[in-house]
Amino acid sequence: MLGIKRLGLLAALLLVGVAPAAAAQAAVQPSQQDTQYLQAIHQVNLFEITAGELAQQKGQDQGVKDLGARLKTDHTELDQTVQQTASQLGVQLPSEPTADQQSVIDQLNNASGEEFDRLWVTSELAGHVQAIQATQTEISQGSEQSVVQLAQTALPTLQAHYDALVQLAEQLGIPVPQTSASGTPSPGGTTPAPGGTTEAPAPGGTTEAPAPGDTFETPAPTQS
């Protein structure tokens, strides 16, 4: 009987030690905003890596090939940090791009020559506007410091990509979406929740990408 009592006391002591640890773990769970941003930016990276490879393989203009290689490299590096941060926070990441992003990839796979270049540039412009907006939202609304820091690191890279895409679009005579007076996607716009429902275009492209040759009329981010 004494042995059983001692075992019971030991078990109770172990539970007392486990409870604070469990509570501490629960306390550091990332918010929905942080979780959704990690998932969304990971899907952006998956899309950009694939789209970058396609640009290198199928681009007709050398500028498309070169920028595709740059985007692939930068988003591969960014995703390493995303995966590391998500692992530390216990956030499960998607294994593939969104359905909308995959639709754009399918369109790119079926295009060639000048048609491919125009479709690639227009979809990349739209995707980077959305990715920048989602990143700005995380910086202003995120609560987990490691995720906010990731967004702060990602923003200059995304902005540099957008600026390079604008320059390339102008060289190729491809219409550019309207932006703010500073020439960048307007901060503070209405942004769909990262990784949200299919009702909002996910960062990285939409199923409504304009047909090559059509006027590209992606609306500018709405000012608050």
User: How far is Cα 133 from Cα 202, in angstroms, rounded to an integer?
Assistant: 11
More confident residue, 75 or 181: 75
- Res 21 pLDDT > 60: no
> Can you give the pLDDT at residue 8?
52
Average pLDDT of span 80-93: 97
Selected residue with higher pLDDT from 146 and 28: 146
CA distances from 160 to 46, 163, 205 (A): 19, 5, 18
Does pLDDT of 20 surpass 60?
A: no
What pLDDT, on a 0 to 100 scale, did the predictor assign at position 29? 82
Split at pLDDT 50, 70, 90, the class of 6 is: low
Banded model confidence at residue 186, pLDDT cuts 50, 70, 90: very low
Q: What is the pTM of this model?
A: 0.71
Q: Is the pLDDT at 130 greater than 90, yes or no?
A: yes
**pLDDT at res. 178:** 72
* 3-state SS record for the chain: CHHHHHHHHHHHHHHHHHHHHHHHHHHCCCCHHHHHHHHHHHHHHHHHHHHHHHHHHHCCCHHHHHHHHHHHHHHHHHHHHHHHHHHHHCCCCCCCCCHHHHHHHHHHHHCCHHHHHHHHHHHHHHHHHHHHHHHHHHHHHCCCHHHHHHHHHHHHHHHHHHHHHHHHHHHHCCCCCCCCCCCCCCCCCCCCCCCCCCCCCCCCCCCCCCCCCCCCCCCCCCCC
**pLDDT tens per residue, range 138-155:** 999 999 999 999 999 999
In this model, does residue 104 exceed pLDDT 50?
Answer: yes
For the beta carbon of residue 183, count every other beta carbon within 10 angstroms: 10
For residue 21, the number of C-alpha atoms closer than 13 Å in the C-beta half-sphere is 5
The pLDDT tens digits of the residues spanning 38-86 come to 999 999 999 999 999 999 999 999 999 999 999 999 999 999 999 999 9
The tally of CA atoms less than 13 A away on the side-chain side of residue 102 is: 6
204-218 CB burial, b ≥16 within 10 A, e <16? bbbeebbebeeebeb
When pLDDT is averaged across residues 210-224 and rounded to a whole number, the result is 36
**Residue 5 CA: distances (Å) to CA of 2, 9, 13, 16:** 5, 6, 12, 17
Lookup result for tokens 């307007």: 186
CA 188-189-195 angle, 5° bins = 105
Mean pLDDT is lowest, of 7-11, 46-50, 64-68, 206-210, for 206-210
How high is the mean pLDDT of the chain? 78
Range from 11-20, 139-148, 178-187 that averages highest in pLDDT: 139-148
